[in-house]
């Protein structure tokens, strides 16, 4: 089956291949009239043009979100917001083929994987729906003389600016919009310029579900032209950001003007520790998938592999076999296990890391190159790559690659493995592979990472918090803690006598 754009957007208000963006419940062009292309990473061909917005468009979207925040939406009851989120979840289920197809076309993810995300994404929406009716404050016994009653309320923080990357457009949009709606905030979402189509489709579903005008706005544009004005905007109360650590740092600086609150889900360089007693049959594919899923374009990609010396050579050889057996191709091909990288720029970046690995002395066990045979020549394809003989000091062992590349290194003692695993500015995730339950907990407690997976990887659930330590950011997504990012605590005092 060949997937086409029309199949993914049959219900979308389209004019040829140009798209509009969604502000205050209406489909609009950029004030400047400028547009920008979004490309199919499997073929390099243009999929559509979207508005290339700037500060003036961000102003309009933020003003709409502010009006909506102070309007009737503010009086919606938690139960009404809950029903709205449940309707959105139902619509996502009905239109999942369009949503997943749009993700695949725009950022290259294999269709089988986009489709498989349905339960997780609709589950997220239903989880936030459930939380909408759990917002509570406290009554607090105070010690003032006389009779005073004091209590707290948890109130929506206000207008949220959400800036997301391209590697999981549907899930990233829902992780921002879901808690905003559950808490009664309003939101301006700025998708990545590399994959803006699904968030626009989501805006359409929001309107169909009955989200009031201005509550959810989607503004397309580049990071510098649209993202930065949103991060700086004095009318935005909170920025929720997912993306690279460097951009996260500029968002913090931009937030200083009005001291807006910020939460950040940033990059990673996640270590995997494989002990000699691990079940190798199960561990090889789990480690492989941790590094190669989504072509390694996942913040949690397991990219530093520490293997106990006694099994190192066998493990690396088996991982190389696993990598070579993966089918690389267009995301829309049902046989594809590994799709293209999102853009020519990303391809160039990843190939630069492959070159640096070789020139700094690492040994290529599998892959190590761009794929250009047949149809692959037109797209951004890289072979799943295993490097061995890697030193901790090498560029490929230190920097986030965001491509299908894993670097293997032997270790001798657990203390050494922990020390080397933690020797990174990042702290997003880690993996431990062992049959010894005591060792598993011991390692999990000592690793500096927001999430540690044992004998598994990528397990995510809306009820379970996710977020980084160190330069992987702060704030949690998922779990009941997630709502704290969108709420402020207000204290009320009453004099009773
Ligand atoms: P990026 O930082 O380049 O871009 C992310 C978003 O920020 C895009 O929408 C972009 O337009 C915008 N942006 C860029 N510059 C900006 C600026 N100066 N001000 C405001 N907005 C700006 O990241 P990317 O290349 O799109 O995504 C890859 C990165 O995202 C990786 O580092 C990856 O680890 C990280 N990521 C983290 C998580 C997580 O949950 N921790 C999840 C996915 C991706």
Among 198, 223, 252, 290, which residue has the most ligand 1 atoms within 8 Å of its CB, making it the best to mutate?
Answer: 223
**CA 472 – CA 31 distance, rounded (Å):** 35
Q: What is residue 109's predicted lDDT score, i.e. its pLDDT? A: 94
Question: Could you read off the pLDDT of 72-89 as tens digits, one per residue?
Answer: 999 999 999 999 999 999
* CATH T-level assignment (fold) for domain 271-461: Aldehyde Dehydrogenase; Chain A, domain 2 (3.40.309)
How many Å lie between the centroid of ligand 1 and the Cα of residue 440? 32
This prediction has a pTM of 0.96
Q: In angstroms, what CA-CA distances link 409 with 148, 268, 296, 323, 349? A: 64, 18, 19, 17, 23
Q: Strand pairing of 385-388 and 270-274?
A: unpaired
Alpha-carbon span 374 to 384, nearest angstrom: 18
Predicted confidence at residue 308, as pLDDT, reads: 98
CA dihedral 55, 59, 60, 65 (to 10 degrees): 130
Both structure tokens of 451: 């999430």
Domain ranges of the chain: 21-266+472-492, 271-461
Give 178 Cα–ligand 1 centroid separation in angstroms. 20
Instruction: Say what the pLDDT of residue 15 is.
Output: 43
The whole-number pLDDT of residue 6 equals: 57
Q: For the CA atoms of the chain, what is the radius of gyration?
A: 23
Whole-angstrom distance, CA of residue 407 vs CA of residue 404: 10
Q: 244: Cβ below 6 Å to ligand 1?
A: yes
Distance 402 CA to ligand 1 centre (A): 12
109, 231, 243: residue to mutate for ligand 1 pocket, most atoms within 8 A of CB: 243
Quickly list H helices, 326-456: 344-359, 395-398, 414-422, 437-446
Determine the distance separating the centroid of ligand 1 and the alpha carbon of 164, expressed in angstroms.
Answer: 6
How far apart (Å, rounded) are the C-alpha atoms in residues 421 and 308? 13
Nearest CA among 95, 319, 278, 276 for reference residue 203: 95
Using a 10 angstrom Cβ sphere, with 0-12 exposed, 13-18 middle and 19 or more buried, the burial of residue 492 is exposed
- Pocket test of ligand 1: the residue of 247, 290, 291, 429 to mutate, having most ligand atoms within 8 Å of its CB, is 247
Ligand 1 neighbourhood includes 229 CB (under 6 angstroms): no
User: Which residue's entry shows tokens 């899923």?
Assistant: 293
Q: Is 418 in contact with 447 (CB distance < 8 Å)?
A: yes
Please tell me the distance from the alpha carbon of residue 58 to that of residue 202, in angstroms, as a whole number. 19
Q: Which two tokens stand for residue 497?
A: 């006598």
User: Distance, CA 428 to ligand 1 centroid (Å)?
Assistant: 15
From the number of C-beta atoms within 10 Å of its C-beta (0-12, 13-18, 19+), residue 130 rates as middle
Edge-to-edge strand list for the sheet holding 473-474:
26-28, 21-23, 216-218, 186-190, 159-163, 238-242, 261-265, 473-474
Closest atom of ligand 1 to CA, residue 402: 31
- pLDDT in the model for residue 8: 53
Burial 362-393, CB ≥16 within 10 A → b, else e? bebbbbbebbeeeebebbbbbbbbbbbbbeee
The catalytic residues are 265, 299
3-state secondary structure 92-155: HHHCHHHHHHHHHHHHCCCHHHHHHCHHHHHHHHHHHHHHHCCCCCCEECCCCCCCEEEEEEEE
Assign domain 21-266+472-492 to its CATH architecture: 3-Layer(aba) Sandwich (3.40)
- C-alpha–C-alpha distance, residues 176 and 36, integer Å: 24
Distance CA 496, CA 482 (A): 35
Q: Is 193 in the pocket of ligand 1 (CB under 6 A)?
A: yes
458 φ, ψ (degrees, to nearest 5) = 70, 0
Q: Which residues of the chain have pLDDT under 50?
A: 1, 10-16
**CB of 368 closer than 6 A to ligand 1?**
no
Q: Does any ligand 1 atom lie closer than 6 A to the CB of residue 403?
A: no
CB of 462 within 6 A of ligand 1: the answer is no
Distance, in Å, from the CA atom of 385 to the CA atom of 380, rounded to the nearest integer, reads 15
Q: Which tens digit of pLDDT belongs to each residue from 296-333?
A: 999 999 999 999 999 999 999 999 999 999 999 999 99
Which atom belonging to ligand 1 lies closest to the Cα atom of 428? 41
Question: CA–CA distance from 489 to each of 67, 136, 154 (Å)?
Answer: 22, 10, 5
Considering only CA atoms, which of 116, 113, 114, 120 is closest in space to residue 99? 114
Q: Are 238 and 262 in contact (CB under 8 A)?
A: yes
| Among protein residues, the one whose CA lies closest to atom 35 of ligand 1 | 243
Q: Ligand 1 pocket, 175 CB below 6 A?
A: no
- For residues 80 and 63, give the distance between their C-alpha atoms in angstroms, rounded to a whole number: 24
Task: Map residue 188 onto helix, strand or coil.
Answer: strand
């Amino acid at each position: 089956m060949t997937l086409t754009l029309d199949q993914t957007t049959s219900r979308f208000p389209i004019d040829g291949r140009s798209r509009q963006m969604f502000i205050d419940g209406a489909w609009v062009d950029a004030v400047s009239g400028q547009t920008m292309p979004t490309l199919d990473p499997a073929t390099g061909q243009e999929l559509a043009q979207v508005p290339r917005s700037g500060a003036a468009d961000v102003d309009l979207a933020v003003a709409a979100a502010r009006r909506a925040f102070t309007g009737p939406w503010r009086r919606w009851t938690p139960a009404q917001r809950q029903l709205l989120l449940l309707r959105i979840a139902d619509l996502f289920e009905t239109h999942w083929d369009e949503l997943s197809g749009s993700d695949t076309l725009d950022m290259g993810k294999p269709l089988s994987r986009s489709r498989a995300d349905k339960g997780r994404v609709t589950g997220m929406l239903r989880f936030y729906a459930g939380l909408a009716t759990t917002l509570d404050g406290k009554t607090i016994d105070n010690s003032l003389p006389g009779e005073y009653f004091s209590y707290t309320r948890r109130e929506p923080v206000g207008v949220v600016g959400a800036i997301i990357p391209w590697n999981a457009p549907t899930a990233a949009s829902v992780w921002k919009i879901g808690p905003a709606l559950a808490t009664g905030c309003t939101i301006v979402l700025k998708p990545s310029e590399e994959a803006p189509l699904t968030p626009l489709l989501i805006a359409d579903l929001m309107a169909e579900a009955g989200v009031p005008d201005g509550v959810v706005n989607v503004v397309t544009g580049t990071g510098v032209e649209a993202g930065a004005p949103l991060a700086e905007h004095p009318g935005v109360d909170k920025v929720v950001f997912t993306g690279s650590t460097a951009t996260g740092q500029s968002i913090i600086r931009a937030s200083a003007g009005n001291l807006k609150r910020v939460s950040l889900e940033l990059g990673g360089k996640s270590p995997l520790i494989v002990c000699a007693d691990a079940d190798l049959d199960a561990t090889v594919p789990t480690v492989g998938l941790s590094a190669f899923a989504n072509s390694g374009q996942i913040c949690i990609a397991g990219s530093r592999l520490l293997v106990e010396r006694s099994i190192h050579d066998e493990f690396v050889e088996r991982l190389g076999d696993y990598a070579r057996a993966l089918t690389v191709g267009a995301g829309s091909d049902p046989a594809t296990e590994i799709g293209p990288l999102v853009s020519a720029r990303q391809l160039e970046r990843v190939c630069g890391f492959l070159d640096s690995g070789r020139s700094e002395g690492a040994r290529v066990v599998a892959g190590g190159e761009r794929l250009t045979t047949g149809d692959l020549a037109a797209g951004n394809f890289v072979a799943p790559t295993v490097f061995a003989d890697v030193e901790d000091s090498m560029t490929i062992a230190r920097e986030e690659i965001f491509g299908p590349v894993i670097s293997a290194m032997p270790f001798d003692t657990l203390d050494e493995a922990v020390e080397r695993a933690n020797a990174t500015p990042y702290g997003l995730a880690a993996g431990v592979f062992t049959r010894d339950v005591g060792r598993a907990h011991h390692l999990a407690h000592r690793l500096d990472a927001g999430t540690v997976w044992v004998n598994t990887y990528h397990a995510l659930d809306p009820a379970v918090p996710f977020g980084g330590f160190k330069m992987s950011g702060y704030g949690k997504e998922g779990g009941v803690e997630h709502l704290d990012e969108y709420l402020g605590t207000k204290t009320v005092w009453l004099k009773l006598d």
